[in-house]
Amino acid sequence: MAESSCRVVITGLGAVTPIGNTVADYWTGLSQGTNGVAPITLFDASQHACRFAAEVKHFDPSGFLDPKEAKRWDRFSQFGVVAAKQALAHSGLEITDANRQRVGVIIGAGVGGLLTMETQAHVLNAKGPGRVSPFTVPMMIPNMASGLAAIALGAQGPSSAVATACAAGSNAIGDAFRLIQHGYADAMVCGGAEGAITPLGVAGFASAKALSFRNDDPATASRPFDAERDGFVIGEGAGILVLESLESAQARGAEILGEIVGYGMTCDAHHITSPIPGGIGGARAMALALQDGRLNPEDVDYVNAHGTSTQANDSNETAAIKTALGARAHHIAVSSTKSMTGHLLGGSGGIEAVACTLAIRHGLIPPTINYQNPDPACDLDVVPNRAREQTIDCALSNSFGFGGHNVCLAFRRFV
């Protein structure tokens, strides 16, 4: 095991999202400002206070998963494994007996197998304990996307799962970055997955007053930083990256898509759901990511904001960005791709890391759609409504979760 740190690069991407079930389709959706929000079809939501979500459309895992096996997996695990297989194929990394103990998997989930838990609870109540599926526990536990991906890929290196709510996907990527950086693995398959658009999931967030209730116009419900925002839109899907040590990637002649250089995480230690006033915890996470990456505020060209479309998050994140980046904050593009994808909870950090990598690679900043009414408390350049061509050498990605978890990842163009 190496004691000194090494450079960590991105060699593969995978995405299953409300605006595209491949990386190419996802990027097209982001570039075009595609709205992924619509009335709920996964269950009858007619009695719910919120009746819309950002569902994954036309999801067919049959090209990646054995249909019989897939029936024994919760929806979030299916998303995670499909995205992981996409990412590994994209990377060109072959996992063999010679290297499998040096390749690991970390996939975060904020909720995990809620659909399974909810379905089997109904079975228990209606039919008794003897009718509960023997796959209930393996299907619902939040580490199973990581476990199933490792099994599917044959990866025997470090494997874990992160459950830091909406920061889980970013924590998973950051933890994988550290494992490679300090020599515990040569490559990691990492990111986040979620499939919590269920009756209980939607009702629970609605009761907490966290969701938008714009049922008359769901397409404009996710409106981060807009003065008339009224809550987030729940989404689902997965985003996965393949990270490698620079030495490993170069040795096999891999195409390098970008580099991760910084990882900061903090805790507000303030409230179970609300961020600490002024975004102090988020600002510290950003400052730590910059420090870790040996970056200055002047180096940052783009921030992919957590940007949930809730009153408290967006104003506090704006304050956090100002604190961390100082005068530079007003000269940086800050957009929320959740305006298009909704909020994938633990999956958000994964798809947003994919978005940052592609934004750097293509020189295009995804927009914040549905932005109509400026909010004086959110007075940054939010790239309203249309994508913007711009050279990006460095991007930050913010993820903040219930419980006060704050994560910032720093990405750079590979040179």
340 neighbors 396 (Cβ within 8 angstroms): no
In the numeric block, which tokens belong to residue 230?
A: 């009224």
Pick from 350, 285, 293, 347: nearest CA to 316: 285
Strands (E), 153-209: 159-160, 187-194
Distances (CA, A) of 347 to 192, 273, 356: 4, 18, 15
3-state secondary structure labels for all residues of 250-269 = HHCCCCCCEEEEEEEEEECC
Q: Containing H/E element for 119?
A: helix 114-127
Q: Using CA of residue 296, residue 298, residue 299, residue 305, what is the dihedral sign? A: positive
Rounded to whole angstroms, the Cα distance separating 14 from 351 reads 8
330 given a catalytic annotation: no
Residue 182: active-site member: no
DSSP 21: S
From 166, 190, 356, 408, active-site residue: 166
Q: Which of the following is catalytic: 50, 90, 343, 405? A: 343
| 343 annotated active-site | yes
Q: Structure tokens of 244?
A: 């490698």
The candidate with the shortest Cα–Cα distance to 357, out of 410, 290, 296, is 410
Paired with 398 in beta bridges are 408
Cα R_g (the chain), whole angstroms: 20
- Given the residues 306, 356, 394, 408, select the one marked as catalytic: 306
Q: Burial level of 251, CB count in 10 A (0-12/13-18/19+)?
A: exposed
CB 397 within 8 A of CB 409: yes
Positions marked active-site? 166, 306, 343
